[in-house]
Amino acid sequence: MISRRSILAATGAAIASASLRGLADTPQLLTREIPATGESLGVIGLGNSQAFKSSDMDTTRQLLALLTERGGSFVDARGISRFNVLKAAVQDASIFLAAYVDGSAAGQDRADIEALRQLRAGEPLDVLTLSNFDELDKRWNQLREWKQQGLCRYIGVGKARSAFYPAIMQLMATGTVDFAQINYSMLEREAEERLLPMAMDKGVAIVTSRPFVNGGYFPLVRDHALPTWASDFDCHSWAQFSLKFIVGNPAVNCVLTETANPKHAIDNLGGGIGRLPDAKTREKMSALLSSF
């Protein structure tokens, strides 16, 4: 039986060794353009890893190195993680940081933004993402003002629950949203109905979270062999099976993977390398998972 554990046991050590040496022939992530500007981003990013949150700087640096040597850059972080990521990446301008603001105290948010910018020699932050939906219009206007003032290059809104899709779409309709972060996976496909098509229509970059539904995906596949046809789209593990399904949707710009394990990070990054499943194959993948 092929599982994430067995695949990593067989190949992870060799891949990890090569990756950590930074070989020139390291496979590179596929990229997608941010609609607002045409700037390219690798399709796999790092979520708010426990390594970031616990101030494990050695692991944080290792995770960032694994990401960037494959052409990735997007890192999503909140709280102390924002500062730890920038401290770890102080010499790496390629990190594209999405920093959360909750909007509960504009003065504190502004102070945090300025402190983060100091770690970037005063340069604007990449994305400020609003996660507090109370008084949404007021908080969104504050983000728009900060963008106009040059504190950040992009602004976005994010919630990993389908109950918030209507509010996100309401903001998207204004034409002022650069990024929207949502939950989307093989087990959470509600966004396909309206939100993802609207994002493509409005030119909003989509970042997705929960590719493994907080770990709930792996028990479903653990006792099953990876289908042989997965090799048709360069898929070598169940983790990559989920990630390639998500990236196979053209509305998705980047999938966030959240791990503090470098071997898992290497496996995850493989989900954004090589061929992707087409629409017909994605439905075949979904049907397979539903049969388990």
Residues 135-146 pLDDT 10s: 899 999 999 999
pLDDT at 92: 74
Is the pLDDT score of 20 beyond 90? no
Q: How large is the average pLDDT for residues 138-156?
A: 95
Superfamily per CATH, domain 4-291: NADP-dependent oxidoreductase domain (3.20.20.100)
Angle 106-118/136-148 helices, nearest 10 degrees? 30
Which pLDDT band, with edges at 50, 70 and 90, does 5 fall under? Answer: very low
Domain ranges of the chain: 4-291
Q: How large is the average pLDDT for residues 168-194?
A: 97
Which pLDDT band, with edges at 50, 70 and 90, does 96 fall under? Answer: very high
Which residues touch 54 (CB under 8 Å, ≥6 apart)? 260
**Which of 103, 98, 107 is CA-nearest to residue 133?**
103
Q: How large is the average pLDDT for residues 76-99?
A: 90
**Which of 81, 92, 86 is CA-nearest to residue 48?**
81
pLDDT at 175: 97
d(CA 224, CA 238): 9
pLDDT at 8: 42
d(CA 135, CA 174): 16
Which pLDDT band, with edges at 50, 70 and 90, does 236 fall under? Answer: very high
More confident: 79 or 154: 154
Looking at the whole model, is its pTM more than 0.85? yes
Q: How large is the average pLDDT for residues 233-245?
A: 98
pLDDT at 16: 43
pLDDT at 18: 39
Is the pLDDT score of 194 beyond 70? yes
Q: Buried (b) or exposed (e) across 104-143, using 16+ Cβ within 10 A?
A: eeeeebeebbeebbebbeeebbbbbbbbebeebeebbebb
Is the pLDDT score of 106 beyond 70? no
Average pLDDT, the chain: 91
The most distant pair of C-alpha atoms in the chain lies apart, rounded to whole Å, by 55
Which pair of structure tokens corresponds to residue 289?
A: 């998972």
Q: Is 46 helix (H, G, I), strand (E, B) or coil?
A: strand
Q: How large is the average pLDDT for residues 79-85?
A: 94
